[in-house]
Structure 1
Amino acid sequence: MPSRSPKPISVAEQRKRRSRVARLAKDFGFTGQVEYRHVYSQSGGAQYGRASEESKDLLTVYAEGFERDANPDDFSLAAIVAHERGHQLLARHPRIAKQVGSRISLASEEILASLLGAMLCPVGEDRDALIAKATVEVVNHGAAIQTATRRLRELWNLMETLL
C-alpha cells in the first residue's frame, strides 16, 4: 500500500492528470464537478460526492487512482472512474434511483456501482475487472460463486432495462 503521502509531481503532470480525469468522466457521462487531488485518500482512488443537484455532484480522483492504473494487476483509472459514475447513476438516474432509492446497503451499492460501471465500459479488461469486483462482493456476503454469477446476470438484465 502507498506510503503516507504521494511522491511530488510537477505542475505539468498535475495538469495532465486533471485533463485525463476530466476526459474519462466526460466519456462515462459524469455530470458535475471533476477534480484531481494529489493526496492519498484511503478511498481506493476516487470518490463520488452527491450534492444538492446533479450539476454540483463531485468526482474526486486521488493519487492512488493513478498508482493503481500504473499497476497492470490492479484496476485501471478508467475502471475506477466508471465505478464512481455507477454510484452517480444509482443516485441520479430517474428509473434506477426510483427502484433502488435509499433501500440498499452500502455493500449492495458497491455491487451495483461496479455492475453499472462495467456496463459503461467497452467489452474488455475494465468491464471484466468490474464484473469480477461485483462477483467477489456478492461471494464475500455468503453466496456461492454460481449463485453470485446468476444474481449478477439478473441484475445486469434489470439495469439494462432501466437504463
Structure 2
Amino acid sequence: MSGIGERWKALRAVEGLVDPAELDALWADLETVEASSLLGHWLGFAFLTGHPIEKVLAASRWHGKRFDALDDAKPLICRAEDGSLYSDTKAGRGEASLWNVEFRGEVTATMVYDGMPVFDHFKRVDDTTLMGVMNGKAGVVLAEGRHFYFGLERETPDRTRGPGC
C-alpha cells in the first residue's frame, strides 16, 4: 500500500476525533480528479472532527452520493426506515451539478449544490476512493472556520452498505 493509502487507512481507523490538520495535510498530497470521472453511485462516510454536519448526516441516515450526469448530481442519498434509498432534496435544498473548480490553488471535481452556497470538492485517494471537503459560507458549512471532511467509495454489487449507514 502506498504512503497515501496507509495514511488514509490510519485516518479511517481513528477511534474518536480526527485532527482536521491531518486531513488537510492528506488532502494537499492527493491527486485532483476530473468531474466526468465521478459519474456513478458512491457510499459516503464522515471523518469525525466534531463538525456540526456530522450530526445532521447521521440523523438523515446518509448513505452517499449519486452522480448520474454532470448536471444531475444527488448529494444526499439517504436510507429510509424501510431500507430504500432516496434523494433528500429537502435537506439538500434541491440537488446539485458537477464542475471542475479551483480550491486551494488546484482545479478539481466539485459538486455545486443547487439551493445553498455549498461546494463539495473531491480528490482521488485511489481508483475507487475519493476524499471530500465541504466548503461554503460561514454559518452554512464552515464551523468556526473548519471544513467538513468525508470520504466516498465507489459502490459496486459487492461493496454496498445496509441500513444504519
One fold, TM greater than 0.5?
no
TM-score normalized with structure 1 length: 0.28
TM-score normalized with structure 2 length: 0.28
**Relative contact order, CA 8 A, sep 6+: which one is greater?**
2
> If you compute each CA radius of gyration, which structure gives the higher value, 1 or 2?
1
